Amino acid sequence: MKKIKNLTKMSLVEKAEAALKAAVAKVIAENKRLGIPLVIWRDGKVVHVPPEELVVREVKGNYKTVKKNK
């Protein structure tokens, strides 16, 4: 998986894509953990993927905290 660059240098489209990929990875991991099949669209049909077939990939973010001056 590609390393996510610094958020301040990312366009809005890149930020949205990174957020969507992270959300999908979280759903896949949660379904596998709970033993729930994942419902996807494949070749024009709805398919139920059993939890034992789900592959969990770790999504790493390159996030930094910024201290605000008061």
Tens-place pLDDT, residues 11-62? 899 999 989 999 999 999 999 999 999 999 999 999 999 999 999 887 665 5
Residue 61 domain flag: no
Domain extent at residue 32: 7-53
Q: What is the pLDDT of residue 68?
A: 73
Whether the full predicted model's pTM is greater than 0.85, yes or no, is: no
Per-residue tokens: 45? 């049909």
Phi, psi dihedral angles at 41 (to 5 degrees): -105, 120
For the chain, how many structural domains are there in total? 1
Residue 27 domain flag: yes
Neighbours of 56 (CB within 10 A): 13
